Amino acid sequence: MQSSSNWGIIATWRMAYEGISESAQMLAEDQDSTRAALHAVTRVEDYPYYKSVGYGGLPNECGEVELDAAFMNGDTLAVGALAGVKDLANPVLVAEALSRERFNSFMVGEGAREWALRQGFEEKPMLTERAQQHYVKRRRETIDRGLSPYAGHDTVGVIALDQQRKMSVATSTSGLFMKRPGRVGDSPVSGSGFYADSHIGAATATGLGEDLMKGCISYEIVRRMGDGLSAQQAADSAVWDLEQRLLERYGRAGDLSLVCMNNRGEFGVATNIDNFSFSVATATHPSTIYLAWREGKRTHYREADQEWLDAYQDRITAVVS
Ligand code: GLY
């Protein structure tokens, strides 16, 4: 296929900013979208202060960190995923390796871990002291004050488009804080937490996996882009429709936030929460952190200002008390 000078990368949340900025440089140098997406996700997995992904991720109700991750190659539609794995340094790299397997490409628990270790992937205790402190604090809040144990669950999802017009998407999460052991959300589930088709575009999700999966929302957004909607229209209409269906038929809707990009590098975002942050860079758009919110059926966004960025940094590094 003929190359183009177009490229792009977009990710859920501010936490992906450093990673996508480095990956943007890789894409500008004509590197492959798989490498770019994996680089951005591993940066988040390795950073101990992000408490919903990789090292430093928050544990399940038994105090154990169980990780989910996935990778999809938009050229071949190959998918690799793993769920409920413990003590692997970079689950997303294992997911990519699984995407190259003809069979057994979605693995869970001990089987996934053993396979990864046999392939030479790094073993690492993923529960940090800080995550343990959050766990103790949340248990206290849950018991003493009746707060929901399930608040806060931010998946990193990264979509990359390279100059060969190949799209890749990768996700990684420690899932819902205080989840039951064995619980799996949308992030490793193709069509829900992510989807990529280089002929059309890609989408990836963050929010309440139980509800995101009810709409196969990432696939639905890609499908709508394939039907001719812009990335923004596809994201907004699909998230709105899913939320309405959930409210009417299920009686409630959890957090639903998505980013998407078409194969021309045009991006979209949709959310039903206030202040959903996302990070994006394209050939024509410098690396930027945005804050998104919804008014009516439409998602709006503005660049994050210094005040917000400083408060964010203070919040994620604050002493756990
Ligand atoms: N969206 C991540 C999860 O529900 O596990």
Tell me the pLDDT tens digit for each residue of 20-74: 999 999 999 999 999 999 999 999 999 988 889 999 888 998 999 999 999 999 9
Residue 135 maps to a domain: yes
Does a structural domain hold residue 79? yes
Residue, of 237 and 139, whose pLDDT is higher? 237
In this predicted model, which residue has the larger pLDDT, 125 or 266?
Answer: 266
Instruction: Report the pocket of ligand 1 as residue ranges, CB < 6 Å.
Output: 153, 155, 173, 175-176, 185-187, 206-209
In terms of residue numbers, what domain contains 13?
Answer: 8-317
Q: Residue 151 has what pLDDT? A: 64
Residue 57: predicted pLDDT: 87
* Ligand 1 nearest-atom number relative to CA 212: 1
pLDDT at 177: 87
* pLDDT tens-digit map of 17-31: 999 999 999 999 999
Residue 179 has φ and ψ, to the nearest 5°, of: -65, 160
- 152 occurs within a structural domain: yes
**Can you tell me the distance from the alpha carbon of 239 to that of 105, in angstroms, rounded to the nearest whole number?**
28
In a domain, 193, yes or no: yes
Q: Closest ligand 1 atom, CA of 209?
A: 4
Tokens 């396979």 map to which residue? Answer: 115
In this prediction, residue 149 carries a pLDDT of 59
CATH code where residue 41 lies: 3.60.20.30
Residues 6 or more apart whose Cβ sits within 8 Å of residue 252: 246
Residue 1 lies in a domain: no
Is residue 2 a part of any domain in this protein? no
Residue 147 has pLDDT above 70, yes or no: no
What does the buried/exposed string (b/e) look like for 232-267 if buried means 16 or more CB atoms within 10 Å of the residue's CB? bbbbbbbbbebbeebeeeeeebbbbbbbbbbbebbb
| Most informative mutation of 186, 218, 272 for ligand 1 (most atoms within 8 A of CB) | 186
- Looking at residues 118-142, what average pLDDT do you find? 88
3-state SS class at 103: coil
- pLDDT(5) > 90: no
Backbone angles phi, psi at 101, to 5 degrees: -90, 135
Residue 126 lies in a domain: yes
Q: Which residue has the higher pLDDT, 3 or 31?
A: 31
- 32 CA distance to ligand 1 centroid (A)? 27
The number of domains in the chain is: 1
Paired tokens of 51: 């408490």
**Residue 15 resides in a domain:** yes
- In 3-state terms, what secondary structure has residue 154? coil
CA-to-CA distance for 193 and 222, rounded, in angstroms? Answer: 12
Nearest protein CA to atom 4 of ligand 1, as residue: 209
Give, for ligand 1, the residue of 12, 82, 176, 242 to mutate: max count of ligand atoms closer than 8 Å to Cβ.
Answer: 176
Q: What confidence score (pLDDT) does residue 51 get?
A: 82
